[in-house]
Amino acid sequence: MAADMAGKETIDELLLRISKQVGSNYHSLSVHLKITSAEMENIKASNPHDAEQWSFRTLKTWQQRQADQNLQNMKTQLAEALIRAGRRDIAVTV
């Protein structure tokens, strides 16, 4: 049943779920997603004191750059970035 639900998860739902799990560890993930320091500063400035929102906006910034990718390729890239960021526990759920 869980696999069926995961298959129907939208990309925004996936990114939101991951952002909640990543929380304040967003910085390491952002490095592996190739989000620039300037972009991170803008994200932080627009959502002061909200690490979960920083994570979500970081993931959305990355997603927007992947517009030409299909969903499976995006999930693979995201899982690889999570592993490199030390979050294999989250990567296995992507």
At 10-20, the pLDDT tens digits run 889 999 999 99
Q: What gap in Å lies between CA 8 and CA 34, rounded to an integer?
A: 28
Closest CA to 47 of 24, 29, 28, 66: 24
Q: What gap in Å lies between CA 66 and CA 76, rounded to an integer?
A: 12
**pLDDT tens-digit series, residues 46-78:** 988 888 889 999 999 999 999 888 889 999 999
Residue 10's identity, in one-letter code, is T
Domains and CATH numbers, the chain: 10-91 (1.10.533.10)
Locate 90 and state its tokens. Answer: 């989250």
**pLDDT tens-digit series, residues 19-53:** 999 977 888 999 999 999 999 999 999 988 888 88
- Find tokens 């627009």 and name the residue: 46
